[in-house]
């Protein structure tokens, strides 16, 4: 007999607040190069082979029961059939990256069928330069970004010679099904842990609340920013179902070099580039923002030995830098903010961070579901997350995985989500936006790389960019005079 697997409050929140305009699934776009000498029907043959594998393991065979919406649970689906989940798409031969992104945008708009296990997979053939893609999406109530990455990672081989691996749904030893290494506590230990946890959670929430009250009164400045204080901008407000997807990539060796030069972390460098790029993008669409960007950052609360699956994340908002032309000043201000927020998270019980996240984000989700998001200030301007990925090259049936981009969901009141994913020497940015409000999303991807090159030039110059920035200002002034 199947065992019921009840959803947590956090997981169920993604179901309760899902609407046609705001689907709550997350995904990945993986771009492969076909093996040398592969048949032109390589992808379709792989698709047909996958359809014959009808054995499935959690989470891919878990079917949702929402008879009681307040206590939904999963049961293993005895009628699982890959034909319900896997689809082959043939693009016009030699299709460009732009056409691929347009197709992914279209596929990401569709709600997940709740009468089946909550995932879909598309094998996309016909890309230029002998490549193909796999777009996978799963409902956010099933996994968070870190769990999804770990599960998908295990499905790949570490060399081109390893063939005939089962498709990802047919792997019994995927990380979702591995038991925690922690010893199961006794009843007395559970009661003691529960009591201790409740006390720590109450103290943690009290401390966060006190700090936010002091900030509201102007008596202090905290790492966690006051929620619902971000000004209205093109990045915030109501959305429609239409999505646009684009990407950017930075070479990890050059990012690491900037980390060493400036004594900062990868997050500091990446957010410095993103901050400058978003401001420039808002200028491009004629909706400039003259105040600091506020971002919501998902932070993992999962213990190293914890079981993979579900959502174990906290959501905290923090301000980035005051608007400036100087990337060094931007890097310094962002570094201070991130170091402070890391300290605040590390010194607070995980349960209190999650409880705080439930209160703030839960309220935002409910307002969005009630079509009232435009009547309250946004929790922040946008969501930005960073998911660690594998450093080594991966393969699938001899096909080299060249690029791996996250395709996330939009948060309540947010029209843009930026998720970073490191893979095989590259830091990939997956950008998803509300198409009706944020046009030309591909321009933002270009600005991210330009901001990185500017930061690199400044940090590597003998005068820390003084002459470079002065030349930039003179060029801008001459342009104004000519106009």
CA gap 295, 417 in Å, rounded: 10
Confidence of residue 160 (pLDDT cuts 50, 70, 90): very high
Question: At residue 303, does pLDDT exceed 80?
Answer: no
CATH of region 13-177, choose from 2.60.40, 2.40.230, 3.40.50, 3.30.559: 3.30.559
pTM of the model: 0.85
What residues contact 7, with CB distance under 8 A and at least 6 apart?
15, 72, 73, 74, 141, 310
pLDDT mean over 297-307: 62
Closest CA to 86 of 117, 63, 41: 117
Q: What is the mean pLDDT of residues 248-262?
A: 95
Of 341, 418, 410, the closest CA to residue 385 belongs to 418
The pLDDT tens digits of the residues spanning 167-176 come to: 999 988 877 7
Q: Which residues contact 452 (CB under 8 A, 6 or more apart)?
A: 250, 254, 255, 269, 273
Q: DSSP letter at 236?
A: B
The closest alpha carbon to 337, from 357, 322, 350, belongs to: 322
DSSP 8-state assignment for residue 392: S
pLDDT digit string, tens, across residues 13-64: 888 888 899 999 999 999 999 999 999 999 999 999 999 999 999 999 999 9
Judged against a pLDDT cut of 50, whether residue 441 lies above it is answered with: yes
pLDDT of amino acid 9: 80
Cα–Cα distance measured from residue 413 to residue 149, given in angstroms and rounded to the nearest whole number: 26
pLDDT confidence of 252, banded at 50, 70, 90? very high
Per the document, the length of the chain is: 483
212 upstream amide cis, omega within 30 of 0: no
Average pLDDT, the chain: 84
What whole-number distance in Å separates Cα of residue 176 and Cα of residue 454?
Answer: 42
> Which uninterrupted H or E stretch holds 131?
strand 131-139
Selected residue with higher pLDDT from 400 and 143: 400
pLDDT digits (tens, 9 = 90+) for 214-234: 455 554 555 555 566 677 899
Does the pLDDT value for residue 339 go beyond 90? no
Helix axes 441-460, 252-262, angle to 10 degrees: 50
Q: Residue 374: its pLDDT value, please? A: 66
Render pLDDT for 169-208 as a digit per residue (tens, 0 to 9). Answer: 998 887 777 665 555 555 565 555 545 545 555 555 555 5
CA torsion through residues 228, 232, 236, 240, sign: positive
> Which tokens go with 205?
């929430």
Is the CB of residue 137 less than 8 Å from the CB of residue 27? yes
């Amino acid at each position: 007999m199947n065992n019921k697997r009840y959803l947590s409050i956090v997981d169920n929140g993604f179901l309760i607040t899902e609407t046609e305009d705001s689907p709550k699934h997350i995904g990945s776009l993986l771009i492969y190069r076909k093996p040398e000498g592969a048949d032109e029907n390589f992808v379709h043959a792989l698709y047909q082979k996958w359809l014959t594998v009808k054995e499935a393991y959690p989470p891919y065979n878990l079917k949702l029961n929402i008879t009681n919406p307040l206590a939904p649970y999963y049961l293993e689906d005895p009628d699982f059939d890959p034909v319900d989940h896997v689809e082959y798409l043939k693009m016009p031969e030699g299709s460009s990256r732009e056409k691929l992104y347009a197709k992914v945008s279209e596929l990401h708009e569709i709600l997940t069928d709740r009468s089946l296990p909550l995932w879909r997979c598309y094998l996309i053939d016909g890309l230029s330069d002998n490549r193909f893609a796999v777009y996978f999406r799963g409902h956010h109530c099933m996994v968070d970004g870190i769990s999804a990455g770990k599960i998908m990672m295990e499905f790949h081989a570490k060399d081109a010679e390893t063939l005939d691996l089962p498709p990802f749904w047919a792997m019994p030893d995927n990380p979702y099904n591995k038991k925690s290494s922690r010893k199961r506590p006794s009843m007395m230990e559970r009661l003691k842990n529960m009591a201790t946890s409740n006390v720590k959670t109450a103290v943690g929430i009290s401390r966060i609340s006190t700090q936010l009250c002091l900030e509201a009164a102007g008596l202090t400045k905290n790492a966690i920013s006051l929620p619902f204080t971000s000004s209205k901008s093109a990045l915030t407000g109501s959305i429609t179902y239409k999505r646009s997807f684009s990407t950017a990539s930075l070479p990890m060796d050059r990012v690491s070099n900037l980390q060493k030069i400036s004594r900062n972390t990868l997050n500091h460098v990446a957010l410095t580039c993103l901050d400058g790029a978003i401001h420039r993008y808002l200028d491009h669409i004629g909706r400039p923002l003259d105040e600091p960007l506020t971002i919501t950052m998902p932070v993992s609360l999962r213990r190293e030995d914890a079981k993979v699956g579900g959502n174990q994340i906290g959501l905290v908002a923090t301000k980035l830098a005051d608007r400036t032309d100087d990337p060094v000043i931007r890097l310094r201000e962002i570094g201070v903010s991130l170091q402070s927020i890391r300290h605040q998270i590390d010194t607070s019980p995980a349960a209190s961070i999650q409880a705080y996240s439930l209160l703030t984000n839960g309220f935002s989700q409910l307002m969005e579901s009630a079509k009232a998001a435009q009547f309250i200030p946004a929790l922040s301007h946008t969501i930005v997350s960073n998911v660690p990925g594998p450093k080594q090259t991966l393969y699938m049936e001899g096909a080299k995985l060249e690029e791996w981009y996250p395709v996330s969901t939009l948060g309540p009141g947010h029209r843009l989500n930026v998720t970073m994913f490191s893979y095989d020497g590259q830091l990939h940015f997956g950008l998803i936006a509300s198409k009706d409000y944020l046009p030309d999303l591909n321009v933002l991807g270009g600005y991210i790389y330009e901001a990185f090159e500017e930061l690199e030039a400044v940090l590597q110059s003998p005068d820390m960019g003084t002459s470079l920035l002065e030349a930039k200002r003179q060029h801008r002034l001459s342009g104004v005079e000519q106009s």
